[in-house]
A = this chain, B = another copy of it.
C-alpha cells in the first residue's frame, strides 16, 4: 500500500506581530508544497525508513528498536491525536542520536522527532519507507514545518483504517471535513514537537488551504474569490522570531498610546483586506481595482511594521527594488529578514516580472512566484502524482 500526500506552505497577508496584541491577521496558502510519499513494506523488511530528499538525508530504524524505545503502540489509535510527552521525546531523541546527522543539519532533528511520533502513534510498528520532498525553503516563515506535518499526517491517515477515501480512486482527492479536522490535529501535535508553542495557524492554513482570518487564537476560514499571484522574495537572512516579537512588546511598553493606534490601524487593514478578497470580481477592471487596493493595503501594513521596528536592511533593499518598478511590497511573518511579498497584478507583463526577479536575485535573494489561496492537503494513491 502506498500514498502521496501534498500540503501547501503559507504567507501572512496582513497583521503579523499586531495579532499578538489582539488584532486581526490574514494568512493564505501558497502553491509551493511539501510532498510525503508513504509506502508500507511488503517484503518483510523490518525497517522504518525516512528519506529527506532535498537535504540528501536518509534515516532508518529497525522496528525492534522503535518498539523498545516507544512501547505501547502495538494497537495504535489513529483516531485520537496524542501529545508527545517529555519522556517520549527523550526516547525519540535517543533513536535519532544513533543516526549520523551532519552538524549543519541538526536543526532538522525536531522534524525527525515529529515524524517518529506521528508515525508510531498512528501506525505502530509497521515497516515502511517515507520520502519527503519540498518546494518550500526551510525556516523562512513560509510554513515549511507545518506543510511537512500536514502532508505526513495526511499520508498516515490516508492509509489508516479511519480513512474515508477510496483507495482505488485515480488522481488527487481530498478528505471530508471531519477527517481534515483529525489530520489537522495530528499535524498540530507534530508542530508542537518542532516549535514548542505554535499558534496552530500554519498547520490550519496548510490543511484547509485558501485563506484564514485569525484573531485572539480564533481561526475563521475565508473563501477567496480572487486569483492572486505573489512574488515571494526570501532574503535568506535568518532571524530570531522570539526576539522580534519581544521587541514589539517592549516598544509597546515604551510608547503605549502610539502603538495602540498602530495596532488598531493594522486591524482595520486586515479587515478591509479580508473583505476585498471575499467579494468576487466580475471582470478584469474589477480585478485590477482590487489588486490596487490590496497593493495599497500591503504598502500601508509594511509602513506599520516598520513603525513596530521589525524591518531589516535586507527587507528595505527588496522594497526599494520593487518600488522602482512601481510594485509595493511588505514583509511577511516575523520580519528582521525572512521573506517579502510583492503582489504581481494580473495584467503585469512577464518581461517586467523577469526584470524585477533578475535584479532581486542579483542581490543574492531567492525568488518564488506563487499563486495564493489554493488547495490545502491532497492525497493520491495511484502513483499518478
On whether A272 and B255 interact (CB within 8 A), knowing A303-B306, A304-B307, A323-B316, the answer reads yes
Residue of B nearest to A302 (CB): B306
On whether A320 and B313 interact (CB within 8 A), knowing A268-B261, A306-B306, A307-B307, the answer reads yes
Q: Are A300 and B265 in contact (CB under 8 A)?
A: no
Q: Are B319 and A316 in contact (CB under 8 A)?
A: yes
A311–B305 alpha-carbon span in the complex (Å): 15
Tell yes or no: A257 within 8 A of B by CB: yes
A295-330 interface (Cβ within 8 A of B): 296-297, 299-309, 311, 313, 316-317, 319-320, 323-324
Tell yes or no: A162 within 8 A of B by CB: no
A75-113 interface (Cβ within 8 A of B): none
Chain A 240-270 against B: per-residue CB contact (8 Å), 1 yes, 0 no? 0000000000010011011101101100110
A326–B311 alpha-carbon span in the complex (Å): 12
Residue of B nearest to A316 (CB): B320
CB-defined contacts of A301 to chain B, threshold 8 Å: 307
Chain A 107-135 against B: per-residue CB contact (8 Å), 1 yes, 0 no? 00000000000000000000000000000
Residue of B nearest to A304 (CB): B307
Tell yes or no: A293 within 8 A of B by CB: yes
* Residue with the greatest number of chain B CB neighbours at <10 A, chosen from A302, A308, A316: A316
Minimum C-beta distance from A40 to chain B (A): 53
Q: Are B264 and A261 in contact (CB under 8 A)?
A: yes
CB-defined contacts of A265 to chain B, threshold 8 Å: 258-259, 261-262, 265, 307
Main secondary structure of the interface of A (DSSP, over half): helix
Q: Are A324 and B313 in contact (CB under 8 A)?
A: yes
Q: Are B293 and A300 in contact (CB under 8 A)?
A: no
Q: Are B300 and A303 in contact (CB under 8 A)?
A: no
Interface size class of A (residues with CB under 8 A): 35 or more
Q: Are A257 and B268 in contact (CB under 8 A)?
A: yes
On whether A293 and B261 interact (CB within 8 A), knowing A303-B305, A320-B320, A323-B316, the answer reads no
CB-defined contacts of A293 to chain B, threshold 8 Å: 254
- Picked from B268, B296, B297, B309, the residue with its CB within 8 Å of the CB of A296 is B309
On whether A323 and B313 interact (CB within 8 A), knowing A255-B268, A261-B262, A264-B261, the answer reads yes
Minimum C-beta distance from A32 to chain B (A): 28
Residue of B nearest to A307 (CB): B303
Q: Are A258 and B262 in contact (CB under 8 A)?
A: no
A265–B306 alpha-carbon span in the complex (Å): 13
- Picked from B254, B258, B299, the residue with its CB within 8 Å of the CB of A309 is B299
Q: Are B300 and A255 in contact (CB under 8 A)?
A: yes
Minimum C-beta distance from A57 to chain B (A): 37
On whether A320 and B317 interact (CB within 8 A), knowing A262-B261, A272-B255, the answer reads yes
CB-defined contacts of A302 to chain B, threshold 8 Å: 306-307
Q: Are A255 and B299 in contact (CB under 8 A)?
A: no
Cross-chain pairs A/B with CB under 8 angstroms, 17 sampled: A251-B300, A254-B296, A255-B272, A255-B300, A258-B268, A258-B272, A262-B265, A262-B304, A296-B309, A299-B309, A303-B303, A303-B307, A303-B308, A307-B307, A313-B320, A316-B319, A316-B320
Task: Please give the residue numbers on chain A whose beta carbons come within 8 Å of chain B beta carbons, in ascending order.
Answer: 251, 254-255, 257-259, 261-262, 264-265, 268-269, 272, 293, 296-297, 299-309, 311, 313, 316-317, 319-320, 323-324
